[in-house]
Amino acid sequence: MSLADPTPAGRFGEFGGLFVPETLVPACQELEGAFRDAWSDDTFRAELDQLLRDYAGRPSPVTECRRLSEELGCRLLLKREDLNHTGSHKINNVLGQALLARRMGKTRLVAETGAGQHGVATATAAALLGLECVVYMGEVDMRRQELNVFRMRLLGAEVRSATSGSRTLKDAINEAMRDWVATVETTHYCLGSVMGPHPYPWLVRELQTVIGREARRQCAERLGGDGLPDVVTACVGGGSNAIGIFSGFARTRVELVGVEPAGGAAIGRGVPGVVHGMKSYLMQDEWGQVLEAHSVSAGLDYPGVGPEHSHLAAAGLARYEQVTDAEVIEAFQVLSRTEGIIPALEPAHAIAWVLRAAPQLQGATVLVNLSGRGDKDVAQMMDLLG
């Protein structure tokens, strides 16, 4: 009852793979071997479970949205990843990778970050385990997200600006990979989503399956009948929170719906291409240059998407929808007003899709992965709403 593993070459259908400079192939292979070993080791799993419980605050609850359900005519449930330490699902991934790095004898983490959320999470895990931490961030993003830059520095991380290209997330990824090539003896690259070269899309997915395992159990306890919701939905940037919750409901009757921002819809508007070590759907121009993504939510400003989502879309195993910034801003306010939960702008995409699709969801049970809390977005919303 879970998602299929990639092929030995790291493929999900035609997507995925390992498109990296030759110098990085051994590092990716070492990482795959180390993770395979750790993931089947009860001691590693127990240590991770303990951190997830005592440090991150898991299990995260499932909340029934009584007022909004009544308004919409469907039964709306939220998986509350917003209640985790550091405010999102990202902590699940970084705790696992930081433990893995230590197990591999590495003393230093490098990471990329766009809006700063993955950088903050990585710096947090590094502080916890006493690892050195360097976070690459586009120069433009550093100016836009100065609070997160300060947070990372408070946590003891060094933030380095990526000054090439558009000086945003995709350039930060390139610089982090360059750092890793040069320092692989001592350094683990802590990638932030289910993307990049094999084994990352699989490794990050496995670390996020905790969301789906918990949610499956919580639905079984709460719902009658077969214990399944009718629809499970999540926002998709790189796709890690979505694949995490989807994994708990794969190969069941549940409809899986990923929601992309209209301005960063790699699946909805992209074509297959190779970027950042993987083959996946990608927004690019007619010359194959990677396009900038634009969305009200900085955390979804990624022009690509994890390869497994490309595969699920191409195989018809999940459906992908797009919502506009205006719909997201509305959804952000609706959930705040009706349930007393201010969502991050990223999961507000999934809420926005539910609001739009409500006429077709009458009587259905819908589980939304509420991937993060909205504190980080309040100042931006104040500017937008005046």
Q: Which helix (H) or strand (E) holds 225?
A: none
Question: CB of 267: closest distance to ligand PLP in angstroms?
Answer: 12
- Residue 106 φ then ψ, to 5°: -85, 150
Catalytic one of 28, 89, 133, 276 = 89
Question: CB of 146: closest distance to ligand PLP in angstroms?
Answer: 17
233 binds ligand PLP (CB under 6 A): no
Query: Of 3, 25, 38, 8, which Cα lies nearest the Cα of 197?
Result: 25
The CB-nearest residue to ligand PLP is 372
241 binds ligand PLP (CB under 6 A): yes
Question: With respect to ligand PLP, which residue has the nearer C-beta, 133 or 364?
Answer: 133
Measured distance CA(310)–CA(300) in Å, rounded: 16
89 in active site: yes
148 binds ligand PLP (CB under 6 A): no
Query: Of 217, 176, 222, 182, which Cα lies nearest the Cα of 200?
Result: 176
Question: CB of 220: closest distance to ligand PLP in angstroms?
Answer: 24
The contact mask relative to ligand PLP for 272-311 (x = CB under 6 A, - = no) is: ---------------------------xx-----------
Q: Which pair of tokens denotes residue 264?
A: 């960063």
The contact mask relative to ligand PLP for 325-344 (x = CB under 6 A, - = no) is: -------------------x
Q: Which helix (H) or strand (E) holds 265?
A: none
Question: With respect to ligand PLP, which residue has the nearer C-beta, 75 or 347?
Answer: 347
Measured distance CA(378)–CA(375) in Å, rounded: 5
Measured distance CA(335)–CA(338) in Å, rounded: 5
Q: What are the beta bridge partners of residue 135?
A: 111, 159
Q: Which of 86, 117, 168, 247 binds ligand PLP (CB under 6 A)?
A: 117
Identify residue 203 by its one-letter amino acid code: L
294 in active site: no
Q: In what order do the strands lie in the sheet with 158-162?
A: 158-162, 132-138, 108-113, 187-189
Contact residues for ligand PLP (CB under 6 A)? Answer: 88, 90, 117, 193, 235-241, 299-300, 344, 346-347, 371-372
**Active-site residue set:** 65, 89
